[in-house]
Chain A
């Protein structure tokens, strides 16, 4: 099997840098601190005469998963934002583009490098995550799901970072703009959902409307939100359903309103939230990758004045 030459080169260069082991050390130290704090809290409960709730130890898993997801989401643009702009700064991009390697191969090679680097961090943290195994409640399937979700988040955030890197000549603006775009996907979609849901509920209340079909469609405004994926999955770890399905079911549980067929279908659809959420995140990633490849394709970009 032929390895992408850019991936091979990046891994060779990366393995020689002291930055990676130092960053992994601090990453694991932060996660260890989180785990330690949780254990201290449980211990404090026991000595305060309260009931020792060993089940709360299982929350090590969601807390560490959320912490890692946030760190990865911040870290990936820092890694990827220099991928294309760094080649420009070193003036090696033009040389690469004169070879038969296609721009999309350059971009995917860079993305694969970032994902491998990120997964070095994730794998190094597995012993801490497995703390939750000691107290039960978590099994290896949860770990596989977690790794899968991290992979999707890495591809999503990485593609944004690489796109920004292809747009900006310098690394710093690429990092800043990619973080702004990432925040938009997390908070922008959340705010869009919150505001539209609020307005819709007000409209329903004012007009005494029984049909709630629209309110069940509105959560899909967050289908491109990576945080929604993490939230839905973690809710599933401790419950038999996802957070969006659970919330929608609760809304109607105490209502006298009889659910229509469409409303039932929409509620059931929310139970499969993770699948469209993952597909949309990967779809958006593909768009960013394609746009980045177009940006570095010399025969598509506009010329600049040269000697």
Chain B
């Protein structure tokens, strides 16, 4: 569906994107994660035809998006990280305005817009002025607006930003529906646990590079491995500490009451081996377990690397 090949963008001397490569399959919900200035918005804007890259290629359904930007505008729906609404327009007029920009007018436009207003649970707000809508409603209206031409690819820049938990939940449900409709969706967000719930794959960006990319399950597995291992001891704490210090897989060790907290660079099988070694050395333990992994801890870990 979308292929980004060696995308580079300089703003003057500032390198915003550094040879970014990315492939997103049809029907996928891809989560773009990264700190401010990582290059998420720049990437999205280039894909939407709002920015020229310094070098690199973007292909949408095999078509060069940079050479044929005009024709691809009908395939992409874009929701920026701001509302972009006209206060003096009613919600339905706002929708019809954008429908007319895609050549959709009259009865067909009205029907399409009503259907989309219904999809985003705003069917009772068609005659309300956009100005009077809540933040969450405005965001849903923007999402409906981006669907007015039935695009294949939806690009949502921080769609849940500034929304209260209920509005976020509603947004999440709508995105689930869109996924079921077969839309390919790219979402950038700082609300990482939510991305994990919504997305089928995730990419973490840092300083214009994709530092981690893969299916959510794989990344959560990595997140899990990145989390500290906790060994609850019954006795022989000193002996256990000495034993762990000898283990090359142990990167960091701290003691909390009768537990050892360690950064252990190994998978589940190696944890099993470790447990066996404790039994063989007759060091009594109550149990060994990893703390639950989530995207947020991995994100902080990955994006903090190399920073002071």
Q: Is B7 an interface residue (CB 8 A)?
A: no
CB < 8 Å A-B pair total: 90
Q: Mark contacts of B21-59 with chain A using CB atoms, 8 A cut-off: 1 yes-contact digit, 0 otherwise.
A: 000000000000000111011100100111110000000
Q: Is A5 an interface residue (CB 8 A)?
A: yes
Cβ–Cβ < 8 Å partners of A90 in chain B? 84-86
Q: A280 CB to closest chain B CB, in angstroms?
A: 32
In the complex, the answer to whether A303 meets B11 with C-beta atoms within 8 Å is yes
Q: Which of B68-76, B179-187, B245-253 is the contact stretch?
A: B68-76
Given contacts A100-B103, A307-B40, contact A92 B85 (CB under 8 A): yes
Cβ–Cβ < 8 Å partners of B101 in chain A? 5, 96, 99-101
In the complex, the answer to whether B38 meets A307 with C-beta atoms within 8 Å is yes
Interface size on B, residues (CB 8 A): 40
Residue of A17, A95, A101 with highest tally of chain B CB at under 10 A: A95
In the complex, the answer to whether A100 meets B88 with C-beta atoms within 8 Å is no
Main secondary structure of the interface of A (DSSP, over half): loop
Cβ–Cβ < 8 Å partners of B97 in chain A? 5, 8-9
Cβ–Cβ < 8 Å partners of A92 in chain B? 84-86
How far is B12's CA from A111's CA once the two chains are assembled, in angstroms?
33
In the complex, the answer to whether B84 meets A95 with C-beta atoms within 8 Å is yes
How far is B50's CA from A168's CA once the two chains are assembled, in angstroms?
18
Q: Mark contacts of A175-204 with chain B using CB atoms, 8 A cut-off: 1 yes-contact digit, 0 otherwise.
A: 000000000000000000000000000000
Interface size on A, residues (CB 8 A): 28
Cβ–Cβ < 8 Å partners of B80 in chain A? 91, 94-95
How far is B46's CA from A303's CA once the two chains are assembled, in angstroms?
11
Cβ–Cβ < 8 Å partners of A13 in chain B? 86, 88-89
How far is B48's CA from A95's CA once the two chains are assembled, in angstroms?
10
Cβ–Cβ < 8 Å partners of A255 in chain B? none
In the complex, the answer to whether B11 meets A2 with C-beta atoms within 8 Å is no
How far is B12's CA from A2's CA once the two chains are assembled, in angstroms?
42
Q: Is B9 an interface residue (CB 8 A)?
A: yes
Residue of A96, A98, A99, A304 with highest tally of chain B CB at under 10 A: A98
In the complex, the answer to whether A91 meets B86 with C-beta atoms within 8 Å is no
Q: A166 CB to closest chain B CB, in angstroms?
A: 16
Q: B36 CB to closest chain A CB, in angstroms?
A: 5
How far is B48's CA from A305's CA once the two chains are assembled, in angstroms?
17
Within the complex, which residue of B14, B40, B50 is in contact with A298, where a contact is CB–CB below 8 Å?
B50
How far is B11's CA from A8's CA once the two chains are assembled, in angstroms?
36
Q: Mark contacts of A1-43 with chain B using CB atoms, 8 A cut-off: 1 yes-contact digit, 0 otherwise.
A: 0100100110011001100000000000000000000000000
Given contacts A9-B97, A92-B85, contact A100 B102 (CB under 8 A): yes
A–B pairs, 21, beta carbons within 8 Å:
A2-B103, A13-B89, A90-B84, A91-B80, A91-B84, A94-B50, A95-B78, A95-B98, A98-B76, A99-B98, A99-B101, A100-B70, A100-B101, A298-B50, A298-B51, A305-B11, A305-B14, A306-B16, A306-B41, A306-B42, A307-B38
The residues of A with any CB-CB pair to B shorter than 8 Å are 2, 5, 8-9, 12-13, 16-17, 90-92, 94-102, 298-300, 303-307
Given contacts A96-B101, A298-B50, 9 further A-B contacts (CB under 8 A): A2-B103, A9-B97, A12-B88, A13-B88, A17-B88, A92-B86, A95-B84, A298-B52, A307-B40
